[in-house]
Every structure is written in C-alpha cells, then in structure tokens.
A = this chain, B = another copy of it.
Amino acid sequence: MPQSPRYAYLGPAGTFTEAALLALPEGGEVEAVPHPSVPAAFDAVRSGECDAAVAAMESSVEGAVTATIDELANGEPLMIERELLLPVSFALLVRPGTPLEQVKTVASHPVAEPQCRRWLGRHLPEARWETAASNAEAAKQVRDGTFDGALAGAFTAARYGLEVLAEGIHDNEGAQTRFVVVTRPGPPAAPTGQDKTSITVGLRDNHPGELMEILEEFAGRGVNLCRIESRPTGEAMGKYYFFIDCEGHIADERVGEALLGLRRNSARLRFLGSYPRADRQAPVIRPGTTDAEFAEARDWLAAVRDGNR
C-alpha cells in the first residue's frame, strides 16, 4: 500500500500554517507533520523525511516572516513550488462557558497581538497579554488553565476543546498571509503566464549605487519587481542581502536574461523557484520583451555575426 506524502509544518496542530496546509488541493490526503520551528520543518524536507513543507512567508500586516526567508537564503537549498494566500481571521478562544468579563489574560504568538490591538483595547482593556510560541500553543495553554483566552483561528478551538467567544476580532479588514510550499530542488513548476520568481542576491563589493544596478538588471529587461526585502547577512552591521520576488518565470527569456545579469554582476545569487502567483495577476509585458522578440533578435544576431544581413 503506497504511503501518503508527508508535509512538514510549523506546529502544533491548530496553527494558521496547518490551516494553510489543509487548504491545499491535496491537503486532505497528505500526512501533516508538525515541527517546532520553520528550520526544523525545512530540515525534514532536506533529509527526505518529508516531501514538502508549508511555511508562512509574509503577512500583509506584519511583513516578512524572517525565519522563512533566512532559512531559504542560507540553509541547504530548497525550492518554492507554490504559494497561497489565506485571509487572516482571529477569534478569541476560551474554555467552554467562560464569559468575557472573566478573561483576565490573553495569550498569542507575538504577530497576533498587534493585529487585534484595537479590539482588545475596546473589549478587554484590563486583560494582560502574554506571549506564546504559536497561537495553537496559546490555545493549548488556555485548555491547561494557564491563560484565560487565546488569539487564534476559529478552527483551532475544536483541537483543544475550546469555545469561540468572539470572531473576526482583527483590526485590519482584508489582512492576508502568504504561505509557500517548499520542496527539494528540482525543475521549476511549469509556466502558467501568471508566474512569479523568487531569488536571493547579495552585493559584490558594496559600491555606491550597487543596489540600483541590481534593480536595473530587472528593469532593463522589462521585469517588474513584486517585492524586495533586505536582510542582514549576519557578517556585520550594515551588510545586507536581498530577497526579491519578480514577475515572470525563469523559463521566460526576459527573466532568464535578468538572472544571467545578476549571476555575472552580483554575489551569492540563489534561485528559489518560479511558480504560479496566488493572485493570478498577469504581468504587463513591455514591448520588446516577449519571448518571440527575444528569439527574433537572437536569430538576427546570429545572422549578422555570420555576415548575412
């Protein structure tokens, strides 16, 4: 009997990451394997113990999930195979029967608290907030009686025998989290026409304007950036590398040539994957940058080099 694929995630059960994993098309059929940290989840993929890992990449409110970024940039190579966007919706979870006025302590992952601050200020101005390693961990500690309430997804309640006392308590309508599915390196996902490419790249010698030159490698070929994130290299204060998402697929000529430029003119370039955009937005392709135009130009150059005009 064939084994189910195994997917690693940041546990314990009941986290948003688990919800993301379950939201995948194959979510119902894979074995979800919780890990205590993103590096641990990724290591499970590297070692072959798991087939993929699901990890939060970015919050529209709190920004980059740096543990994910740094691990993709610095750890043994992995590949982003897919991304998905999940709306963020927080609930206040309590032990069954607890009324609002008895909630004196509220626990959550540090990312959750600022997203619910306005609601908390209005409805629980006296409650003390406590940090937890994950929202699911907070729920577990509510179950165990350590705290009175947990900020977590409503779906977490059932896992720990809790009750949803209030739903949709996050301040920011439309907040989303972006998750990625990470695998061992291999051929990138097939192009769909609405793709994104992720890389990390460093400066070669930190000369003035070097970051602009890196951006020009994209701009000069009509490749738009979706996002650029600077991260410390860890070597010294003031040394950074960049995590960049750009429009398009590595199979696209314009993206390929931009990467060639980076390969020649930057340091520690790492290709992290080309994959369909979760928002299905198609790129605006500037005239002169289609694959057909690249091919035509290449034919022309070959002919001219041979002396035919």
A binding-site residues for B, Cβ under 8 Å: 58-63, 66-67, 77, 85, 110, 114, 130-133, 172, 174-176, 178, 185-188, 204, 208-209, 211-212, 215-217, 219-222, 224-232, 234-240, 250-251, 256-257, 259-261, 263-265, 271, 279, 284, 286-289, 293-294, 296-298, 300-301, 304-309
Docked-complex contact B215 and A211, CB < 8 angstroms: yes
Q: How far is the CA of A217 from the CA of B284 in the complex (A)?
A: 21
Q: Among B227, B264, B289, which residue has its beta carbon within 8 angstroms of that of A293?
A: B264
Question: Looking at the complex, which one of B220, B263, B305 makes contact with A301 (CB distance below 8 Å)?
Answer: B263
B220-A271 in contact (CB<8A): no
The 6 closest A-B pairs by CB, nearest first: A187-B307, A263-B297, A264-B288, A265-B288, A60-B237, A186-B307
User: Do A264 and B294 form a contact, CB below 8 Å, given A188-B305, A251-B305, A309-B77?
Assistant: yes
Residue of B nearest to A59 (CB): B232
A261 and B220 within 8 A (CB): yes
Closest to A237 in B: B60
* Cβ B77 vs Cβ A300 within 8 A: no
Q: Could you say which residues of chain B place their CB within 8 Å of the CB of A286?
A: 208
Which B residues are in CB contact (< 8 Å) with A231?
63
Which of A176, A238, A259, A287 has most B Cβ within 10 Å?
Answer: A238
B297 and A185 contact, CB distance less than 8 A: no
Query: Of all chain B residues, which has the CB nearest A294?
Result: B264
Contact (Cβ within 8 A) B186 A284? no
The answer to whether B261 touches A58, judged by C-beta atoms less than 8 angstroms apart, is no
Besides A60-B238, A176-B236, A250-B301, 10 more A-B contacts (Cβ < 8 Å) are A60-B237, A131-B132, A172-B234, A212-B216, A215-B215, A221-B261, A250-B305, A259-B304, A260-B298, A263-B300
What CA separation (Å) do A209 and B223 show in the bound complex?
9
A sample of 20 cross-chain residue pairs with beta-carbon separation below 8 angstroms, ordered by A number, consists of A58-B232, A60-B232, A60-B239, A63-B66, A77-B309, A187-B305, A188-B307, A208-B219, A208-B284, A211-B215, A211-B225, A212-B215, A216-B220, A221-B261, A250-B304, A256-B305, A264-B288, A264-B293, A265-B287, A271-B304
- A173-B85 Cα distance, complex, nearest whole Å: 38
Query: CA–CA, A189 to B301, complex, Å?
Result: 16
